[in-house]
Structure 1
Amino acid sequence: MTHQEDAGSLLLDDQLCFALYAAQRAVTAAYRPLLDELGLTYPQYLALLFLWERGETTVKDLAGALRLDYGTVSPLLKRLESAGLVRRERAASDERSVLIACTGRAEELRERAAHVPGSLLAATGLEGPEVARLREELWQLAAKAGAAAERTR
């Protein structure tokens, strides 16, 4: 089958979107036991990764980084706050803006979470160069798909 014929296929296994969906579900499932040990869901882990990297930030910046809307981020942050991992407060400079920061408990959790990326790679058998190539290709795909989505709005 040529590339052009493949692009027009309606077979499920020929769909790029389905391959991405299946990979995403499998990767998330592989993370689950590692994150269960930390008492985190995958979205909570992603939020903490961003906060550990950036420090105090706004809800808007976190939502943008995670590519989530406020309606999804808000309950996520409420659960992290209830678990004692983040604190939220209105910004003094702009009452409309809410700042989020990790608590000491989240910083302690960071140390326990340090093994997660390596454990996932070991579990999947992926190695550094392959991971770097996959990540780069996926970011390129995300950029191209994002641009296509913007053009169709």
Structure 2
Amino acid sequence: MTKIPRSVASELSFALHAAANRMVRLHKPFLEPLGLTFSQYLVTLELLNGAPLSVGELCTRLDMETGTLTPLLKRLQAAGVLTRTRDPSDERRVLIDLSMHSRGMEEELRGIPDKIRVACQLTADELETLRLTLDGLGRPLADS
């Protein structure tokens, strides 16, 4: 494997960090009226795509550790965004589902990606290419 010069790797790290921060800032004006943080929005979107989910399934889909996700889920439950219940078929599992209130915000939540696309000033094809590139960086085939 070819080694990347140190300065190029650090420049990539800074660029990714800056882009991630900008993405969070771009979402903020759309999420604040809904009472959601960026992380809470990601959880909510994943649940809109198929709930209920176990905590483990949600961790896998969001690439988050249980210790990070559980406090986030508890805050969302306290805010009335989601419900946490024991799986009747396996009491060890906790199932996460959206509340009726959150389901009422579905259209608004699903509209945010289009607003972000406009704010990024990228075409749909450019955004898809960028997403595929980032997916490749975020989920490498093998550890190096």
Normalized against structure 2, the TM-score is what? 0.90
Instruction: Determine the C-alpha separation between the residues in 1 that align with 2:67 and 2:138.
Output: 22
Question: Would the aligned equivalents of 2:84 and 2:97 in 1 still touch at CA under 8 Å?
Answer: yes
Describe the SS at the equivalent of 1:26: helix
Residue 147 in 1 paired to residue 142 in 2?
A: yes
Count of aligned pairs? 143
Instruction: Report the residue type matching 1:10 in the other structure.
Output: S
Q: How does 1:3-152 map to 2 (within 5 A)?
A: 7-10=4-7, 14-144=10-140, 147-148=142-143
- 1:69 positional shift: 0.9
Unaligned runs of 5+ in 1: none
- 1:17 positional shift: 2.0
- 1:53 positional shift: 0.2
- 1:11 positional shift: 6.7
Instruction: Report the residue type matching 1:44 in the other structure.
Output: Q
CA deviation profile, 1:75-120 (whole Å, cap 9, x unmatched): 1111111111111111111111100111110101112223211111
- 1:39 positional shift: 0.9
Unaligned runs of 5+ in 2: none
Instruction: Determine the C-alpha separation between the residues in 2 that align with 1:127 and 1:53.
Output: 24
Describe the SS at the equivalent of 1:72: helix
Instruction: Determine the C-alpha separation between the residues in 2 that align with 1:123 and 1:97.
Output: 40
Instruction: Determine the C-alpha separation between the residues in 2 that align with 1:114 and 1:94.
Output: 32
Instruction: Determine the C-alpha separation between the residues in 1 that align with 2:111 and 2:48.
Output: 15
Question: Would the aligned equivalents of 2:45 and 2:109 in 1 still touch at CA under 8 Å?
Answer: no
Change (3 A) 1:112 1:11: closer
Instruction: Determine the C-alpha separation between the residues in 1 that align with 2:81 and 2:122.
Output: 31
